[in-house]
Structure 1
Amino acid sequence: MTTQAPRGVHLTGSTPFATASEHFHRVGAVLPHHLKSIPDGETGPQGNWIGCQYPIFARFPKLLSSGVWVFPPREDINDLVPLKGIPAMVRDIAVNYDVWALQSYSEFRKLRDEGVISKNVKFQVCLPTPLSVMIFYIHTPYRTTVEPLYENALMKALRNIQDNIPHEDLVIQWDVVQEMSLLEDVPRMENAYGLGKESESWFEPIDDGVIERLVRVMGHVDKDVDMGMHICYGDFMHKHFIQPPSTEKAAFVVSSLLKKLDRKLDYFQFPVAKARDDEAYYDRMKSILPLIHEKGTYIYVGLVHPNDEEGTKRKLAAAQKALGDSGWGVAAECGIGREPLEGAMNVMETSKAISQPWSA
């Protein structure tokens, strides 16, 4: 029996190019027919994922967390800011994702009109979840108060994006990262990110709280706008905060959302660690394939690693045995913006080589 190559390639967010224009040109040349959507490369101020959100909270140092590697230990840990004063203090938040998206979309549309980008490719806007920003930046006692303020600001930016980009051109992707550290019960400070269950006091039960928050923010995406999800275990210094032991937690998130959302989840992407080239890794994801296919959700398997063609082939073979011949495409584990140029180009070229195009 002949095994078909997976169809399509997905870029989860960042690339190492200097500008959105360079990104669109490079990606358009390498992957002209393999993409359904293309992000703007997260260039400029977006170059370090949610690092672009640090200036929002840098004005309020007493709110900042000490549980993440970015910040030094807190010396004033017991000198708490009165919670009732926070809404007045943290107001007029400008997350700027709408500003960056509209600027990039203008360039995207121009280059698509010129044929640099294929005419059927959509513009992909990648957004963090409020939960990820809270865990990364906000000291635990303040998260319950700050979270709705930040979420409201992010939803305003999302509304502005949807009001100013034609819906037939737009894809909204949610980057689901710190949710996975909570679901995997990562021991605090035993990983490069300093993440883990120290956040239990913020909300309980963890599983329900994670899904409730995802359903809430995803509900703000208009139903005629394509929506996807990037499930991520981090990429700081090319390391996960934990190597995903299986697809159990990713499958939990996907199946929960497919059951609870009142709109379509058009696609999701999940990572495959470099060492995992075994079919067993996919067992839990395989068990929910009937639900995924019923809901019409496409899968992108993050099995492509830079400069590792033989390892990629082994992972591809395992994925094909587990997931079958249809309903999925390929991706890198994460964004490739932290890769040197040669590594990023290798990821795109390898992805193209092992997959079928969407169109000729």
Structure 2
Amino acid sequence: MSQPHGTPQPQGALLVGSVNYPDAETTIRAAAELLGGALKRIPDGEVGDRFHWILFQPDVLARAAGIERVGDEPIRVQGLDARPLRVADGVDAASIQLPPLGYAAAAIASYDVFAGLREQGVVPAGVRFQVSLPTSVAVVGAFFPPEQRAAIEPVYRAALFRELDAIAAAIPHDDLAIQWDNAVEFQIIEQADYAARGKGAVEPWWGEVWSGLTARSAEQAGRVPADVEVGFHLCYGDAGEKHFVEPVDTANLVRFANGLFAASPRPIAWLHMPVPIERDDDAYFEPLRELALPAETELYLGLVHREDGAEGASRRIATASRFVDRFGVATECGCGRAPADATEGLLRAHAQVAAPW
């Protein structure tokens, strides 16, 4: 299928992170073969325990002395125990020694697969291996009680940065791209709407909301070595293929991005924003006029959906093009929890609407 006559064609595609294939080799091979020159980066699909983003972290963190589970009965999600956590009574959070979080081990193992496929000619030269990491706000905000978040966040952040350092030490920098996933941040930004839906809104455990988020994002960008690409995925969640709140428009996404661009101590290689399936109207995209996108930053709009494929993506592309003049395409979040039989078609839809680099 080609683009309808007169529809602008975005350049490039981004795989946000999770892909519903059983292993890294299948994911990397499919991405390279189906999307070809449209991809600058290929992830491993967040396979194994990472299939549900951060839901495996409580199983990891509960192994640390001084951290305990909340509740007596496991909350099972496909083998993972999703019960929340707390710092045990009488324990100083700063004294807790967290174990390896699992991100570095997974990235190093998957990079070996990536490098092997490149040697076979499956992965084109110049394509980077993409590693997606959560933020400390995500894990601490999702799993620890409000009164403990300020104390435990520095402990988790230090452990997360150790994972980043291990990844950067093991993978050649010119092969590596790091993506920071920002989802709980948007629960905090949209907390009033989230609470209105009867959900437990995540309140900030610092002062002013926006300045705190910007400072954290700038720090995350700055911790990535200068010769490693860094990107940001702005996210409204993907539980059951649904956002936790549907964004009214792109205004808060643009505000977050502009704060990041202004504060980051280094260039941002790419930025991703979600686009809900029903939004092909001007009102959703109009705030993109205010996006201060640096010349070196690629913008990816998550407007490819499995339900309406290339046809629906083309409608959303046509509208977006009236408000921003350069962007590539993506899904609105990872597709690791989409039906397995939809994955190939979803990847092909990216290729149908995006021009190669």
- Give secondary structure in 2 for the equivalent of 1:301: strand
**Which residues of 2 match residues 52-63 of structure 1 at below 5 A?**
52-59=56-63, 60-61=67-68
Aligned residue pairs, count: 342
Indicate yes or no: 2:84 matched with 1:81: no
Query: Once the 2 structures are TM-superposed, how far is the Cα of residue 253 of structure 1 from its aligned partner?
Result: 1.0
Taking only aligned residues, the RMSD between alpha carbons, in angstroms, comes to: 2.4
**Which residues of 2 match residues 202-221 of structure 1 at below 5 A?**
202-221=205-224
Hey, what does 1:28 align to over in structure 2? 32
**Which residues of 2 match residues 103-142 of structure 1 at below 5 A?**
103-142=109-148
**Which residues of 2 match residues 60-71 of structure 1 at below 5 A?**
60-61=67-68
- Give secondary structure in 2 for the equivalent of 1:322: coil
Q: Compared with structure 1, are the counterparts of its residues 41 and 260 closer, same or farther at alpha carbon in structure 2 (3 Å cutoff)?
A: same
Hey, what does 2:201 align to over in structure 1? 196
Q: Compared with structure 1, are the counterparts of its residues 281 and 22 closer, same or farther at alpha carbon in structure 2 (3 Å cutoff)?
A: same
Q: Compared with structure 1, are the counterparts of its residues 22 and 73 closer, same or farther at alpha carbon in structure 2 (3 Å cutoff)?
A: closer
Hey, what does 2:239 align to over in structure 1? 236
User: Match for 2:270: what amino acid?
Assistant: Y
User: Match for 1:56: what amino acid?
Assistant: V
Equivalent residues of 2:272, 2:302 under 8 A apart? yes
User: Match for 1:102: what amino acid?
Assistant: I
Counterpart-to-counterpart distance in 2, 1:73 and 1:255: 33
Hey, what does 2:303 align to over in structure 1? 303
Equivalent residues of 1:187, 1:195 under 8 A apart? no
Hey, what does 2:321 align to over in structure 1? 320
User: Match for 2:331: what amino acid?
Assistant: A
Query: Once the 2 structures are TM-superposed, how far is the Cα of residue 320 of structure 1 from its aligned partner?
Result: 1.5
Q: Compared with structure 1, are the counterparts of its residues 287 and 87 closer, same or farther at alpha carbon in structure 2 (3 Å cutoff)?
A: closer
Hey, what does 2:346 align to over in structure 1? 347
Query: Once the 2 structures are TM-superposed, how far is the Cα of residue 71 of structure 1 from its aligned partner?
Result: 6.2
- Give secondary structure in 2 for the equivalent of 1:228: strand
Candidates 41, 44, 57, aligned match of 2:45: 41
Q: Compared with structure 1, are the counterparts of its residues 139 and 204 closer, same or farther at alpha carbon in structure 2 (3 Å cutoff)?
A: same
Equivalent residues of 2:55, 2:82 under 8 A apart? no
Counterpart-to-counterpart distance in 1, 2:180 and 2:345: 25
Hey, what does 1:270 align to over in structure 2? 273
Equivalent residues of 2:221, 2:265 under 8 A apart? no
Query: Once the 2 structures are TM-superposed, how far is the Cα of residue 279 of structure 1 from its aligned partner?
Result: 2.0
Query: Once the 2 structures are TM-superposed, how far is the Cα of residue 92 of structure 1 from its aligned partner?
Result: 3.4
Counterpart-to-counterpart distance in 1, 2:82 and 2:178: 30
Equivalent residues of 2:177, 2:231 under 8 A apart? yes
**Which residues of 2 match residues 169-184 of structure 1 at below 5 A?**
169-184=175-190
Counterpart-to-counterpart distance in 1, 2:323 and 2:194: 33
Counterpart-to-counterpart distance in 1, 2:69 and 2:254: 37
Query: Once the 2 structures are TM-superposed, how far is the Cα of residue 189 of structure 1 from its aligned partner?
Result: 5.1
User: Match for 1:300: what amino acid?
Assistant: Y
Equivalent residues of 2:34, 2:348 under 8 A apart? yes
Counterpart-to-counterpart distance in 2, 1:195 and 1:187: 11
Query: Once the 2 structures are TM-superposed, how far is the Cα of residue 120 of structure 1 from its aligned partner?
Result: 2.0
Q: Percent identity?
A: 32
Counterpart-to-counterpart distance in 2, 1:224 and 1:195: 40
Query: Once the 2 structures are TM-superposed, how far is the Cα of residue 72 of structure 1 from its aligned partner?
Result: 7.1
Indicate yes or no: 2:161 matched with 1:155: yes
